Structure 1
Amino acid sequence: MSGFKDHFSTASDRYAAYRPDYPASLYAWLASLCPEEGIGAARDTAWDCATGSGQAALGLAPHFRQIIATDASAEQIGHAQRHPAIDYRVAPAEASGLPDRSVDLVTVAQAAHWFELPRFYGEVTRVLKPAGVLALWGYGRMVLPGDMDAPFRRFHDEIVGPYWPPERALIADAYRSLDFPFAEIVAPAFHIEVAWNLPRLIAYLSTWSAVQRYRDALEHDPLPALMAELTPGWGDADTVKILQWPLFLRVGRT
Structure 2
Amino acid sequence: MATAKTIPTTSATAPQKDPTFRVYTSSQAATYAQNRGAYPKELYDFILRRHAETGGQFNQLLDVGCGPGNAIRDLAPHFDAATGCDPGHEMIATAAQLGGSTRSGGAITWRVSSAEELRQASGLPDASVDLLSAATAAHWFDMGPFWREAAALVKPGGSVALFAKTRMYSHPENPAREAVQQILDDYEKNVIGPHMMPGNWVLRRFFADLELPWQTDAAQTAFAEAKFERYKWNDYSLDGPDGKDFFGGSEVVPLERLYDLLSTAAPATRWREAHPEDAETERDCVRALTTRLKEVSGKDQLRLTQGLALLFFKKAER
Same fold (TM over 0.5): yes
C-alpha separation between the residues in 1 aligned to 2:211 and 2:249? 25
C-alpha contact 2:232 2:308 (8 A) present in aligned 1: no
Superposed CA offset, 1:169-194 (max 9, x none):
21132112222223303558554633
Name the amino acid aligned to 2:117: A
Corresponding residue number in structure 2 for 1:24? 41
1:28 positional shift: 2.5
Residue pairs, 1:42-61, within 5 angstroms: 42-61=57-76
C-alpha separation between the residues in 2 aligned to 1:188 and 1:172? 11
C-alpha separation between the residues in 1 aligned to 2:249 and 2:63? 19
C-alpha separation between the residues in 2 aligned to 1:74 and 1:4? 16
Deviates more, 1:102-111 or 1:179-188: 179-188
Which runs of 5 or more residues in structure 1 are unaligned?
none
C-alpha contact 2:252 2:304 (8 A) present in aligned 1: yes
Deviates more, 1:90-99 or 1:227-236: 227-236
| Residue 194 (str. 1) matches residue 251 (str. 2) | yes
Superposed CA offset, 1:129-155 (max 9, x none):
111100111232212341222222222
C-alpha separation between the residues in 1 aligned to 2:125 and 2:46? 26
Deviates more, 1:174-183 or 1:130-139: 174-183
1:33 positional shift: 3.7
C-alpha separation between the residues in 1 aligned to 2:295 and 2:180? 9
Corresponding residue number in structure 2 for 1:64? 79
State the secondary structure of the residue aligned to 1:93. coil
State the secondary structure of the residue aligned to 2:158. strand
- Choose which of 213, 217, 229 in structure 2 pairs with 1:185: 229
Count, aligned residues: 248
State the secondary structure of the residue aligned to 1:125. helix
Q: CA RMSD in A?
A: 2.2
Corresponding residue number in structure 2 for 1:227? 290
1:224 positional shift: 2.2
Residue pairs, 1:36-185, within 5 angstroms: 41-80=56-95, 81-85=98-102, 86-96=108-118, 97=121, 98-144=124-170, 145=174, 146=177, 147-181=179-213, 182-183=223-224, 184-185=228-229
C-alpha separation between the residues in 2 aligned to 1:192 and 1:53? 24
C-alpha contact 2:61 2:130 (8 A) present in aligned 1: yes
Residue identity over aligned pairs, in percent, reads 30
Which runs of 5 or more residues in structure 2 are unaligned?
1-15, 103-107, 214-222, 234-246, 280-284
C-alpha contact 2:206 2:232 (8 A) present in aligned 1: no
Superposed CA offset, 1:32-77 (max 9, x none):
34449x9x74101110100011121012022111211111001112
Instruction: Mark the CA change 1:111 to 1:214 in structure 2 (over 3 Å): closer, same or farther.
Output: same
Name the amino acid aligned to 1:22: Y
C-alpha contact 1:14 1:206 (8 A) present in aligned 2: no
Instruction: Mark the CA change 1:29 to 1:148 in structure 2 (over 3 Å): closer, same or farther.
Output: closer
C-alpha separation between the residues in 2 aligned to 1:61 and 1:117? 25
Instruction: Mark the CA change 1:224 to 1:26 in structure 2 (over 3 Å): closer, same or farther.
Output: closer
State the secondary structure of the residue aligned to 1:243. strand
1:4 positional shift: 5.3
1:22 positional shift: 0.8
C-alpha contact 2:73 2:101 (8 A) present in aligned 1: no
Instruction: Mark the CA change 1:34 to 1:155 in structure 2 (over 3 Å): closer, same or farther.
Output: closer
TM-score w.r.t. length of structure 2: 0.72
1:111 positional shift: 0.9
C-alpha separation between the residues in 1 aligned to 2:109 and 2:251? 28
State the secondary structure of the residue aligned to 1:175. coil
C-alpha separation between the residues in 2 aligned to 1:13 and 1:28? 27
TM-score w.r.t. length of structure 1: 0.88
State the secondary structure of the residue aligned to 1:28. helix
- Choose which of 249, 260, 266 in structure 2 pairs with 1:209: 266
C-alpha contact 2:42 2:248 (8 A) present in aligned 1: no
C-alpha separation between the residues in 1 aligned to 2:56 and 2:267? 39
C-alpha separation between the residues in 2 aligned to 1:188 and 1:28? 15
